Amino acid sequence: MRILVVEDDARIARDVITTLEAAGYVAETVSDGEQAWFRGDTEDYDLVVLDLGLPKMEGLTVLKRWRSAGRSMPVMVLTARGAWAERVEGIDAGADDYLPKPFQMEELLARVRALIRRSTGLAASVIEAGPLSLDTRQMRVTVNRVPVALSPLEYRLLAYLMHHQGRVVPGPELLEHLYGDDDAREAGALEAVMARLRKKLVPAMIETRRGFGYSMPKSAP
């Protein structure tokens, strides 16, 4: 899952990025409103953490522009502004959640998980497909209740497919959500990660649709 963090306080941005990456997310950051507007308008993110007090363009302006352009990714407003009127303004502008500073990283993660679940139509932190179970809170995967050890990339790939069960996910989309804007990824990287993941699961759990992408059926075998 790919998250954009828009925060001009370098320390807060670094702490949030570190926390998100440790939880298995691809996290990218920009520090001003103009960069945020461009990235959110041209890139595909599963969620945006957006500060309101930004240089060059206010966070609310950025959010309103995204929504006016039809960008529907979940947005969690993160700001030191704690007045109720500003919270209402942010939600009315299209924010999906509001977390005032200072905050605990555990709460940030819980809200991130909840927003991503809701955006993909899921209700619980444990996602299941046949004998496969993925606990997004504990980052724990089991097959027939037996724990399966996955690398960070394998977990990230499985989590994305599990959040999008029943949909054929194109290879380029999977690459974006595995690596973000990292240009260092090698050709064939997705196939290599997929092959390793399949060896640890029941192979038929992840279907390959030649020319289209990959799919995790809702009723995996």
Whole-angstrom distance, CA of residue 187 vs CA of residue 9: 35
Whole-angstrom distance, CA of residue 212 vs CA of residue 2: 21
Q: Sketch the domain layout of the chain as residue ranges.
A: 2-119, 126-215
The CATH architecture annotation of domain 126-215 reads Orthogonal Bundle (1.10)
Burial class (CB in 10 A: 0-12, 13-18, 19+), 55: exposed
Whole-angstrom distance, CA of residue 76 vs CA of residue 101: 12
Q: Looking at residues 203-211, what average pLDDT do you find? A: 85
- pLDDT band (50, 70, 90) for residue 220: low
Q: Looking at residues 135-139, what average pLDDT do you find? A: 93
pLDDT, tens digit (0-9, with 9 covering 90-100), for 113-128:
999 999 988 888 899 9
Contacts of 31 (CB under 8 A, 6+ apart): 6, 7, 8, 10, 13, 54, 55
Burial 65-83 (b: 16+ CB within 10 A, else e): bbeeeebebbbbbbbebee
Q: Looking at residues 193-206, what average pLDDT do you find? A: 88
- List of E strands, the chain: 2-6, 26-30, 47-50, 75-79, 97-100, 126-129, 132-135, 140-143, 146-148, 207-209, 213-215
Task: Choose the most confident range, by mean pLDDT, from 19-23, 77-81, 101-105, 177-181.
Answer: 19-23
Q: Which residue is associated with the tokens 């999906």? A: 96
- The chain-wide mean pLDDT, for the chain, equals 90
Strand partners, 5: 29, 49
Asked if residue 210 has pLDDT above 70, the reply is yes
Q: Mind spelling out the 3-state secondary structure of 93-136?
A: CCCCEEEECCCCHHHHHHHHHHHHHHHCCCCCCEEEECCEEEEC
- What count of Cα atoms within 13 Å lies in the side-chain half-sphere of residue 78? 26
Asked if residue 221 has pLDDT above 60, the reply is no
Q: Which fold has domain 2-119?
A: Rossmann fold (3.40.50)
Whole-angstrom distance, CA of residue 135 vs CA of residue 137: 6
